Amino acid sequence: SGGPDPVPGVRPRAVLDALPRYAAGRPATVVEGLQSFKLSSNENPLTPIPAVLDAIRDCTSINRYPDAVSTRLRERLAEHLDVPADHIVTGGGSLGALNQVLATYAGQNDFGAPDEVVYAWRSFEAYPISVGLSGASSVQVPLLPDGRHDLDAMAEAVTGNTRVILLCTPNNPTGPILTRDEVVSFLARVPNDVVVVLDEAYLEFVRDPDAVDGLGLYREYPNLVLLRTFSKAHGLAGLRVGYTVAQPNITENLRVSAVPFAVSSVGEQAAVTSLDHLDEVLARVDTLVAERERVVAALTDAGWDLPQAEGNFVWLRLGGRCGAFTEAAEQRALAVRRFGDEGVRVSIGEVDANTRFIELCRSFGARGI
């Protein structure tokens, strides 16, 4: 059915058959007379700050391998986050860093049975793929109707085979955060030999004062791993730079499983420069958050009932109208991300894109939402 012809004798691991295919966000369709906008990948719509572009142009030694352990970047991050540099491990995007955590802590037990990785569903689409590839099996715990994690059910889903739990805050694609109190009581219920990953990809967009910030917690929990990225707030998605923060009992092991040179010299230079200009970066994040608030207010006014939106995206629970909405968006040259008949996720983009999205929601109507 359109797949490659099988080559005799060459077979992928059986686990590949069961993996969902990652569907990257589609580019916007071209509509005569309309600028196209891509609101389908939770990207930062703003082009990199001038200092970062200059720094990239100055990268002259790309004939050499990068620093395999990103020493400069880790030291710069250590200053910013006020943590020791050996509590940080960099990776090829936070997805690369997540794969490292899974490769290190999940797979099969001594008898060849799959370990279990527990996470909320729906959540980031790459989780089932990464978990499947690790050899472990996914235990997906349904979200609450308002798009929040059901932490009680997740704690109950933990068995003697659970090796890793993934928590996503704000949750992609639904948007709500986890509070600090929720995470603290959850951690108290989880055995301390289970690694808990807190995926904070959208941390800089969060404005809820009760939201968890992993940095304030990880020192007390030797099983807690924070996952962070330069792809969203820093707008460096194309360069693939992410990192984990955890205590050395964990980072020592992550260094063993690290893909050597996963962060390129250009990526490292760009990330360091972005941190050098953090005020400018965060001021831009403020404008995106203001846009998010404008979108949420306008949609709420128009009768839409949205879950809490603390990332750079909003989640429309459209059910059976997902297809019609996605089509209507395409007719207006807006690419959005449809998740079956569950919902449509729309990233906060350029001001004009957001305005067009608001108009689309008004005319489409909030019926049944």
Q: Closest Cα partner for 313 from 258, 267, 354?
A: 354
CB of 5 to ligand PMP, least distance (A): 32
CB of 42 to ligand PMP, least distance (A): 5
Q: Does 168 bind ligand PMP (CB under 6 A)?
A: yes
CB of 310 to ligand PMP, least distance (A): 12
Distance in angstroms (rounded) separating the CA atoms of residues 289 and 297:
12
Number of residues that bind ligand PMP (CB under 6 A): 13
DSSP 227-242: EEESSSTT--GGG-EE
**C-alpha distances in angstroms, 17 versus 13, 21, 268?**
8, 10, 35
Q: Does 237 bind ligand PMP (CB under 6 A)?
A: yes
Interface of this chain with ligand PMP, residues 36 to 65, rule: CB under 6 A: 42
Amino acid, single-letter form, for residue 110: D
The residue (of 202 and 364) whose beta carbon lies closer to ligand PMP is: 202
The angle, 0 to 180 degrees and rounded to 10, between the axes of the packed helices 351-364 and 278-301 is: 20
CB of 313 to ligand PMP, least distance (A): 9
Q: Residue of minimal CB distance from ligand PMP?
A: 93
Phi-psi region of 187 (alpha: psi -120 to 50; beta: other; left: phi over 0): alpha
The angle, 0 to 180 degrees and rounded to 10, between the axes of the packed helices 71-81 and 265-276 is: 30
The residue (of 119 and 186) whose beta carbon lies closer to ligand PMP is: 119
The residue (of 229 and 326) whose beta carbon lies closer to ligand PMP is: 229
The residue (of 114 and 311) whose beta carbon lies closer to ligand PMP is: 311
Residue 283's CB: how many other CB atoms inside 10 A?
11
Give the burial class of 118: count Cβ atoms within 10 A of its Cβ; 0-12 exposed, 13-18 middle, 19 or more buried.
buried
Binding mask 77-106 for ligand PMP (x = CB under 6 A): ----------------xxx-----------
The residue (of 134 and 172) whose beta carbon lies closer to ligand PMP is: 172
Spatial neighbors of 308 by CB under 8 A, at least 6 apart, are: 146, 147, 148, 170, 175, 176, 177, 208
Q: Does 264 bind ligand PMP (CB under 6 A)?
A: no
| Residue from the set 37, 105, 119, 124 that interacts with ligand PMP by CB under 6 A | 124
CB of 29 to ligand PMP, least distance (A): 22
Q: Does 315 bind ligand PMP (CB under 6 A)?
A: no
The residue (of 42 and 273) whose beta carbon lies closer to ligand PMP is: 42
User: Would you say the C-alpha torsion 313, 319, 325, 326 has a positive or negative sign?
Assistant: positive
The residue (of 151 and 263) whose beta carbon lies closer to ligand PMP is: 263
* Block residue for tokens 């820093």: 234
List of residues contacting ligand PMP (CB under 6 A): 42, 93-95, 124, 168, 172, 199, 201, 229, 231, 237, 242
